[in-house]
Structure formats: C-alpha cells, structure tokens
Amino acid sequence: MSVVQEPVEGQKFPRKNVDKRPRSSNYESDSSSTEIGQEASKEEILGPLIKEFKKIMAEGRGSEPVSAYIIPNYDPHMSEYLPAQEQRLTFLTGFTGTAGTAIILRDAAAFWTDARFYIQATQELEEGWIIYKIGDPEAMSEVEFLKNNLIPGDSVGADAKLMPYPIWQSMKKELKQHDIKLIHISTNLVDALWGDAKPKIVVNPIQPLTQEYSGRTITNKLEEIRNKMEEKSTDILILNQLDDIAWLLNLRGTDIPYCPVFLAFMVISMKTVDVFTDKRRIQYKAGLQLIQENLDIRFLAYERIYEFIKYLRDYPLISKIWLGPTVSYYIYNMIPESKKYLEQNPVELMKCVKNQKEVKGMEQAHIKDGVALVQFLFWLEDEITRRGVTELEAAEKLDSFREMEYGYMGRSFPTVSASGQHTAILNYIPTPESSHLIAKEEIYLMDSGAQYIDGTTDISRTFLFSEPSDFMIECYTRVFKGVVAVSTQIFPKGTPGRALDTLARKALWDVGLNYRHGSGHGIGCFLYAHESPVGISWKPFPEEMGLVANMFLTIEPGFYSEEEFGIRIENVLKTIDADTKYNLNESFLTFETVTMCPIQTKLLDVNLLTEAELRALNRYHAKVKETLTPPLLERHLTVEIDWLNTNTKPFPEDKAADTEKTPEEEP
C-alpha cells in the first residue's frame, strides 16, 4: 500500500485510465450472440491469458478443480465503476465497459453484456469468445449456458465476495436442479493469474463534506437509522455500498473513478459504529468534523470486516443482523438463517430523498453546469463551421469549461462524445485510436456529467449543424415527445418509476420504433450519477422505491439506427408536489426540470407536436434563458448570450398539430 499526499482544496477526482490490450477483431453485430473466429477451434483462437487461466482452473488452485469459473464485473461493494485492483474482468478479457460477466469453461469462453456495451464487447474481446446480449429473447442466459455445457456432478467456481447474494442464490438453485454445484473458491483465480502485477490498493485521504452541503449531521442520520432498526427488531446493520457509507458519514473520497467515495465497510449497532477502512485516510479535516460531532466511531482495518462479522455471528446477545440485497453471498452465507433480516437497507432509502440543502446544491450544480454547457455548445458550433473538431477534443473542451466553475471536482462518468455512426453505439467513449472528426453533416451526441461539491449532473443533447433528413427529424421529435410526456406527468405519491416508462416510449412505439435501455435513473448529490433504488425502466426491480418529493432522477429516451445515427435527450428531474384540481385523500406529484441547457429545435417537426408540448418547450427555454443569462452577463460572455437567445427562441404555439389540453410544465 501507499499513501498519497494530502490534497489541496478543490482536489479533482482522477479519470479512469485502463490500458487496452490490442484486439485482432473489429466485428460488429446486433444479433443476440456472436462467436468470433468460427473457422478454427475456440481453443486454438483464445489467447495465452485465457489458456493459462484454464490451467489454474484445472489445478484446483483455489480449493478444488472446477469445470467452469464465473468472473463478474463487481467488487465487494457491488460498485458500477471499479478501482484498478478490482478490474479483474478488464484484465482477463480486455473489456472496459461497466456491465459484463465472463464464464470460462475448459474448452470455451463466453461473455454477457447488455445492449449498451454489446458492440463494444465485440470490438474489445479477442477472437474465440462467444458473446451474448442480455435482454435479447434469443440469447442464452449464464445458467442456461452452464447447463448446456456441463454434466451432472460438475462444479462451477466463483468468488462469493464479488456477487450479490440474490444472484448467487438464484444461480445456485437453478444449477442444483441439474446436479451442478456452485462453489466459492477461496483464492480468486483471476488474482492467482494476475499475481504481483495486480495493482495495490491506493490509500487516498478522505475529505469532509460540511453541513453547508450535506444538510444533516451524522448524529441525526444515525438516530433515524437506529429508529428504523428498532422498528425492525434488528441489532446490527451491515453496509457494503460505498455511496451509502459516504452519505451517512458526510465524507467523500477519491478511490473510485468518477465517484466521490472511499473503500470501506460499516457496521452499525444500537450503540456503536465501526468503519472498516485504512485509518491513514482519516486526516485532519475529516477527523476534526467527526470530533466536533462528539461521535464515538471506531476505525478498523478494511480487511478485518469478515473476521468481525464472524464475531457478530457468534455473539449470543445479537439476534438479528440486517442485510440489504447488495451484500455479497460470502457475507450472507456467514450468518445463520435465524439471525438474518433481509430487506433494503434504510440508508439507501434515506439517501434518495434529498434534504433542503441537498436540493439547493443540486439546483446550483445544474446552473453551473448550464453555464459551462452554453459556452461549450457555442464553441463547438463555431469551431465546426471553421475547422475540424475531433470527438475527443470536444469531450476535453467540455471539461475545460466545467473546470472554471466553483466546486468542480471532475466527471461523474466517462463522457460520450460521438459523431456519425458512433452515435448509434449507446455508450461510445472516444479514445485517441477511435476518435474522429465531428462532421458538420452528421449528428453529434453528447452524454456527460460532472461532480460539483454541491451536486452531481448528467445530461444528453443531440445536435446537427447542417440540414437533417426527414427520418432524423421524426425520430428526434418522437424522442422529445417522450421527454415531455414524463416530465409533465402528474402521478400519485409512491408510484414506482417503472410505471412511467411507457410514457417515455409511446411516441416511438406508435410508429414501430424503440430503444433498448432504461428511460431514467436516480442521481445522487455529489455521489453516484446512477443512484438506486429509483429509476424509470421496463426492467423489473424488486427493491425499487416509490417516488416521493425531493428525489432526483433522469429522463432519457433515445433512438438508435444501427450504423447510421443515434439520438438521446436527457434531463435531470426533481419530484415536487403537484397542484391538482381535486385534493381528497391522496397526494400527487409531478416533476420540475433542473437541467439548464437548450434543446436543439431545428430537429423538431412542429406538425408532430401538440400545443401543450410546444408550450412546455417554450416554458423550459424561457426558464433556461432567464436562469443562465445573469451568470453569463457577470462574465461578459456576450456572444454566448446571443447564442443562448437564438437557441431558446420560442415557437409560435398556434402552429401545433392540435390543441389537446395536457399538463403544461416545462420538460
């Protein structure tokens, strides 16, 4: 381990930097599965790294020989983005996306990812891999693959510390029906192959988040948590998700790319708090904040968490231990059934509902982001008409404008900066090798977010700097209609986000179009850009929390014409109380848009918009103009203000397709 020096005020979060090994295949397909290099046997084509890994499997180096080994893209905290020492899937396969699972057999290797990363997987994985697209009806699931390729009596190995217990239990149950065992391998086999080259844990210092931004003391949060523990008759709460721990302790870190968190576990009892992290992280400012609250928090070594859980398990006075669904199977399996209490942990639910300081911070962060975005879009439009701009250059230029804003801490996820065919790849991230010029005649799609000390942002915009085709206009207009439909909807308090998903898709469905990703996700306050357990998606999510006031989530419908173009419009929304005609025994909510950035109107077909939709667009643009003009004026950015005025010019509402009366809030 190594200790980094104490950061200066306003330290930035490091960008993820993973070395890519060269790949021999540039194959692209939209089929449910791909087998690359079918002319030769898989064993002949797969590279030396996989062959060496198969030898380790056969040797039984972890505990016993296994016929298959599962490598998920998780760490013990089930994080979306991983620190270098946890990037096992990238090391073994070369895949750099955030959603993927590999299964290695003695004579084959298979990979699963969703529609966001499928094309990326076909480009990054070497020849010989079988690649499945999750969600495709014709794609084989991981369990089906194992059942079809193994025989009764075989064993499947995996590291139980890197898989949520509900997933492990489901796989174990299905495999058992075929007399196939799923077993924990005590030595992670990828680590065995990685050896001394595996990166070490970096001990980054932890920064305090003052009450000016957090809005609540740790003491106050702990009191609410313990009240909930008492209601559920539980003695212990185990937290493994890093954003839960950072939020609860009003601390932030730099251990995970794009995410202001630090590596830790946390155990809460009715009287004590134990945090498992390297003590060297707690430097003067963070320690002082904890002392000022007179908190008796014990800091123990990160690696001691499992030893401590064994102690809790065996302690006779502890009757119930609360485990959330993201806890690993390894921890779950350590605790006897009689002592388990299984439910969404209370911190996740508390974190999703922002307090007034957090609400104000999120709104301020989006104003700052809007100022940076106006400068960026003006620059981009001007530069493209005068000279060439590459996708990577555009992404880095957006960073430079954000860096001028107070409290900017870094990106909240890798920036999608895509032109032409790249826009049809859901999560295309430009690299020096892939980045090409943004052509004036091609659609440009930007999906980007920032971490500010007071909030987190996430926005997508689609632009074209020449004349669009009729098909582009129709697709863009129908995507926009989906944004308006969700943003203006009134719904009962407690409605799950999945109930709104159809609204985002209806205008596309009406003409036989669709998109293969969720319609929105929760977003944290100077935390994760993807915050659970709220969202808008067709996918079932058993732990989903119903919507209440002061939550923040995105709306982001899209359309992608393979190898042609992609369109996405994304705003961050805040749930607010709705003013309804009748006020009986039920409360209703609606949304307020906090993203401050124009939507390109040249791509809209007015004939497809209702009067209410045009009114919503005009109100939104009026709000954007009113909000962003003062800070732009303070900086004497007169040409940017002219650009803003041009791009927020109202549409005549009498040109709408009809005069149907629907809610009139801005998108």
CB proximity list for 607: less than 8 A, separation 6 or greater: 655, 657
CB 476 within 8 A of CB 515: no
Least confident of 7-11, 333-337, 366-370: 7-11
Q: What is the pLDDT of residues 55-91, one digit of tens each?
A: 999 887 767 789 999 999 999 999 999 999 999 999 9
Q: What is the dihedral of CA 438, 439, 445, 446, to 10 degrees?
A: 30
Q: How confident is the model at residue 45 (pLDDT cuts 50, 70, 90)?
A: low
DSSP code, position 162: G
Domain map (residue ranges) of the chain: 43-197, 207-349, 356-647
Q: What is the pLDDT of residue 135?
A: 84
Q: What is the pLDDT of residues 248-283, one digit of tens each?
A: 999 999 999 999 999 999 999 999 999 999 999 998
Read off the pLDDT of each residue in 139-166 and give the average, rounded to a whole number. Answer: 96
Instruction: Give dist(CA 528, CA 584) in Å, integer.
Output: 37
Q: How confident is the model at residue 42 (pLDDT cuts 50, 70, 90)?
A: very low
Q: What is the pLDDT of residue 62?
A: 65
CB proximity list for 169: less than 8 A, separation 6 or greater: 329
Q: How confident is the model at residue 580 (pLDDT cuts 50, 70, 90)?
A: very high
Read off the pLDDT of each residue in 594-608 and give the average, rounded to a whole number. Answer: 97
Percent of the chain with pLDDT over 70: 91
Q: Per-residue DSSP letters for 378-425?
A: HHHHHHHHHS--BHHHHHHHHHHHHTTSTTEEEESS--EEEEGGGGGS
Homologous superfamily assigned to 207-349: Creatinase/prolidase N-terminal domain (3.40.350.10)
Q: Is the pLDDT of residue 29 over 90?
A: no
Q: Classify domain 356-647 at the CATH class level.
A: alpha beta
CB 425 within 8 A of CB 562: no
Instruction: Give dist(CA 592, CA 612) in Å, integer.
Output: 16
CA-based max dimension of the chain: 75
Instruction: Give dist(CA 622, CA 14) in Å, integer.
Output: 36
Q: What is the pLDDT of residue 656?
A: 62
User: CA nearest 472: which of 620, 480, 643, 616?
Assistant: 480
CA dihedral (509, 512, 518, 523) positive or negative? negative
User: CA nearest 494: which of 399, 575, 412, 391?
Assistant: 575
CB proximity list for 55: less than 8 A, separation 6 or greater: none
Are domains 207-349 and 356-647 of this chain identical in fold?
no
Q: Is the pLDDT of residue 34 over 70?
A: no
User: CA nearest 381: which of 34, 646, 63?
Assistant: 646
Q: What is the pLDDT of residues 472-529, one digit of tens each?
A: 999 999 999 999 999 999 999 999 999 999 999 999 999 999 999 999 999 999 999 9
Q: Is the pLDDT of residue 127 over 60?
A: yes
User: CA nearest 69: which of 97, 94, 102, 41?
Assistant: 102
Tracing tokens 């397909």 back to the chain, one arrives at 29
Read off the pLDDT of each residue in 331-351 and give the average, rounded to a whole number. Answer: 96
More confident residue, 387 or 15: 387
User: CA nearest 331: which of 265, 277, 269, 271?
Assistant: 265
Read off the pLDDT of each residue in 229-233 and give the average, rounded to a whole number. Answer: 98
Which CATH number is correct for 43-197, 3.40.190.10, 3.30.70.3280, 3.30.379.10, 3.40.350.10?
3.40.350.10
